[in-house]
Amino acid sequence: MLETVRYTYRLRPGRAAQAELLAEWGRCRWLWNEAVHQQRTGRRPTFSKLSKLLTEVRAHNDWLRAGSQVAEQQTLRTYAIALKHSFTVKGRRRPRAKRLKTARPSLEYTTRGFRMRDGRLCLPNKVTVPVVWSRDLPSAPSSVRVYRDNLGHWYASFVVRRKVTSIPDADLIGIGIDWGVRTTATTTDPRFDLPHLGHRKRCAAERAKAQRRMTRRRRPAGVAPSKGYLAAKRQAARIEKRAARQNTHDARAWAKRVVDHHALIAIEDFKPAFLAKSRMARKAADAAIGACKRELINRGKRAGRKVVLVPPAYTTMTCSQCATRTKERLGLGIRVFDCAACGYTADRDVNAARTILATAERNRAGADDIRHAIASLRDGGSDAVRAGNLSGRPERAAPT
Ligand SMILES: [Zn+2]
């Protein structure tokens, strides 16, 4: 069996290649913004309409014709899909204009638009970029996205097909997962608990120092920023990125461990957005619950595990032994759950995790309360795969 995944590599473009990539991005950005303008005038442009327009415009516009048609078409395709999703997917916003100062360059090429030669990525207009091959590609890529991050580093993300590696058969047991701020994930098996990640907090002092340096070096509005200011800004971004990467790495390692050892994975369908408005916002963001959840769902599905999302309502108030619901909400300060009906006592989060698992196992709550991860369209990642494939777009896949 084959699966579609993304393999990402660092690129080392030279000065000329970088200028060429940015010029390409400029044309694609212009096209995107033109499409957004069309949408403002009340029309709802589809990809086929935009594609026709592109052919017309390219016929008498030398500037656009100088660029790669593949990259330009892919930009419009991405736009058309984003527009369609803004009408069909709840909570998705209309695509907005990409500003020169804030939008990050991102170019997409299908097989028609790129080649590999001598370990280099060859793009249209004779752009060749050395790739840092941190690992081998499992197969010939079907598309590539070339992008630059906020540190100015370029990456190439290839879509490839690879063999599903056989994961050791799980011990056919289930695990329930309850998300939290104090402990990021409390599970029914304490060996699989995920402690609060908090790498951002760990390097907060270092980042604050870089930010103070930025403040000292800041010039008044309207004056070009100094080299020192830009250096301090890059430093702050680098620290931030490192912490984010460490959080991601820990989340992935944990998700892999959970998926390897369990057949049924019952996950609290937690919406981290509400925490963002609370006083725990910073700590909650640092826990990266959303990323952990996404990672777990994607990995579980790829490994063929049964992944069940359980609505979070009443999970902390329900006894995992007798299913009796307490009359009042448990305040956040109360860490121990006490059942008045059967006398069962457990840590509040452990009880919640057990209730989540029991809900998924026994289907006790009724079909309406349990939502299979597959049916959900909002949880990003691999669901985008299906939406993308239906519309003929190059396959999107979860990063590995
Ligand atoms: Zn009870």
Cα gap 179→309, rounded to integer Å: 12
Residue pair 214/280 in contact (Cβ under 8 Å)? The answer is no
Helix axis angle, 227-261 relative to 204-217, nearest 10°?
160
Residue pair 145/113 in contact (Cβ under 8 Å)? The answer is no
Cα gap 85→396, rounded to integer Å: 15
Going from the Cα of 178 to the center of ligand 1, the distance in angstroms, rounded, reads 19
Going from the Cα of 185 to the center of ligand 1, the distance in angstroms, rounded, reads 23
Cα gap 316→305, rounded to integer Å: 25
What is the predicted pLDDT for the residue at 55? 94
Going from the Cα of 371 to the center of ligand 1, the distance in angstroms, rounded, reads 25
Where among 163, 189, 224 does a domain terminate?
Answer: 163
- Given the DSSP bridges, would you call strands 106-110 and 143-148 parallel, antiparallel or unpaired? antiparallel
For the chain, the distance separating the N- and C-terminal CA atoms, rounded to the nearest angstrom, is: 17
Could you tell me if 183 and 120 lie in one domain? no
> Is there a domain that residue 169 lies in?
no
Going from the Cα of 356 to the center of ligand 1, the distance in angstroms, rounded, reads 15
> Hey, what's the torsion of the CAs at 63, 65, 69, 75, to 10 degrees?
30
Residue pair 357/174 in contact (Cβ under 8 Å)? The answer is yes
Going from the Cα of 352 to the center of ligand 1, the distance in angstroms, rounded, reads 12
Could you tell me if 191 and 118 lie in one domain? no
Could you tell me if 88 and 179 lie in one domain? no
E strands, the chain, in order = 2-11, 106-110, 115-117, 120-123, 127-132, 143-148, 154-163, 174-179, 185-187, 264-268, 306-310, 336-338, 345-347, 371-372
Going from the Cα of 326 to the center of ligand 1, the distance in angstroms, rounded, reads 9
Q: Determine the structural domain holding residue 286 and report its residue range.
A: 174-197+246-369
Cα gap 85→90, rounded to integer Å: 8
Where among 116, 138, 163 does a domain terminate?
Answer: 163
Q: Is 69 exposed, middle or buried (0-12, 13-18, 19+ CB in 10 A)?
A: middle
Distance of CA 318 to CAs 22, 332, 350, Å? 56, 15, 12
Those residues whose C-beta lies under 8 Å from the C-beta of residue 390, and which sit 6 or more positions away, are none
What is the predicted pLDDT for the residue at 16? 95
Could you tell me if 68 and 153 lie in one domain? yes
Please state, rounded to an integer, the average pLDDT across all residues of the chain: 84
Average the pLDDT over each of 1-15, 177-191, 312-326 and give the range with the smallest value: 312-326
Going from the Cα of 376 to the center of ligand 1, the distance in angstroms, rounded, reads 31
Going from the Cα of 335 to the center of ligand 1, the distance in angstroms, rounded, reads 16
What is the predicted pLDDT for the residue at 172? 67
Residue pair 130/74 in contact (Cβ under 8 Å)? The answer is no
Going from the Cα of 342 to the center of ligand 1, the distance in angstroms, rounded, reads 4
Going from the Cα of 347 to the center of ligand 1, the distance in angstroms, rounded, reads 13
Could you tell me if 354 and 333 lie in one domain? yes
- Given the DSSP bridges, would you call strands 120-123 and 345-347 parallel, antiparallel or unpaired? unpaired
* Best-predicted range by mean pLDDT (49-53, 129-133, 247-251): 129-133
Going from the Cα of 218 to the center of ligand 1, the distance in angstroms, rounded, reads 60
Could you tell me if 71 and 192 lie in one domain? no
Average pLDDT of 56-65?
94
What is the predicted pLDDT for the residue at 4? 87
The DSSP result for 373-394, as a single string, is GGG-SSS-THHHHHHHHHTTPP
Going from the Cα of 354 to the center of ligand 1, the distance in angstroms, rounded, reads 12
Could you tell me if 114 and 257 lie in one domain? no
Going from the Cα of 144 to the center of ligand 1, the distance in angstroms, rounded, reads 54
Three-state DSSP class for residue 137:
coil
Going from the Cα of 238 to the center of ligand 1, the distance in angstroms, rounded, reads 50
**Is pLDDT of 329 > 80?**
no
Going from the Cα of 348 to the center of ligand 1, the distance in angstroms, rounded, reads 13
CATH code for position 290: 3.30.420
Confidence of residue 43 (pLDDT cuts 50, 70, 90): confident
Going from the Cα of 188 to the center of ligand 1, the distance in angstroms, rounded, reads 17
Three-state DSSP class for residue 83:
helix
Could you tell me if 120 and 7 lie in one domain? yes
> Is there a domain that residue 275 lies in?
yes
Question: What are the residues facing 122 on neighbouring strands?
Answer: 115, 128
Residue pair 90/76 in contact (Cβ under 8 Å)? The answer is no
Could you tell me if 179 and 301 lie in one domain? yes
Domain count, the chain: 2
Question: What are the residues facing 155 on neighbouring strands?
Answer: 10, 147
Going from the Cα of 343 to the center of ligand 1, the distance in angstroms, rounded, reads 6
Cα gap 113→6, rounded to integer Å: 18
**Is pLDDT of 383 > 80?**
no
For 230-246, the pLDDT digits (tens) are 999 999 999 989 988 88
Going from the Cα of 373 to the center of ligand 1, the distance in angstroms, rounded, reads 28
Amino acid identity, position 18 = Q
For 117-140, the pLDDT digits (tens) are 999 999 999 999 999 999 999 999
Higher pLDDT, 296 or 43: 296
Three-state DSSP class for residue 131:
strand
Cα gap 148→156, rounded to integer Å: 9
> Is there a domain that residue 217 lies in?
no
Average the pLDDT over each of 248-252, 304-308, 373-377 and give the range with the smallest value: 373-377
> Is there a domain that residue 305 lies in?
yes
> Is there a domain that residue 239 lies in?
no
Going from the Cα of 314 to the center of ligand 1, the distance in angstroms, rounded, reads 14
Could you tell me if 142 and 262 lie in one domain? no
Going from the Cα of 311 to the center of ligand 1, the distance in angstroms, rounded, reads 20
Could you tell me if 342 and 268 lie in one domain? yes
Hunting for tokens 């299913």 — which residue is that? 323
Hunting for tokens 């993304």 — which residue is that? 6
Distance of CA 266 to CAs 34, 67, 113, 217, Å? 45, 49, 42, 50
Alpha-carbon 6 to chain mean position: 12
- Number of C-beta neighbours around residue 223 at 10 A: 8
> Is there a domain that residue 374 lies in?
no
- Given the DSSP bridges, would you call strands 264-268 and 174-179 parallel, antiparallel or unpaired? parallel
Where among 163, 183, 211 does a domain terminate?
Answer: 163
Going from the Cα of 181 to the center of ligand 1, the distance in angstroms, rounded, reads 25
> Is there a domain that residue 102 lies in?
yes
Going from the Cα of 73 to the center of ligand 1, the distance in angstroms, rounded, reads 60
| Percent of the chain whose pLDDT exceeds 90 | 45
Cα gap 213→209, rounded to integer Å: 6
> Is there a domain that residue 207 lies in?
no
Could you tell me if 155 and 182 lie in one domain? no
Going from the Cα of 365 to the center of ligand 1, the distance in angstroms, rounded, reads 16
Confidence of residue 337 (pLDDT cuts 50, 70, 90): confident
Going from the Cα of 189 to the center of ligand 1, the distance in angstroms, rounded, reads 20
Going from the Cα of 325 to the center of ligand 1, the distance in angstroms, rounded, reads 8
Going from the Cα of 206 to the center of ligand 1, the distance in angstroms, rounded, reads 48
Average pLDDT of 42-63?
90
Amino acid identity, position 270 = F
Going from the Cα of 305 to the center of ligand 1, the distance in angstroms, rounded, reads 30
Going from the Cα of 340 to the center of ligand 1, the distance in angstroms, rounded, reads 7
Amino acid identity, position 43 = R
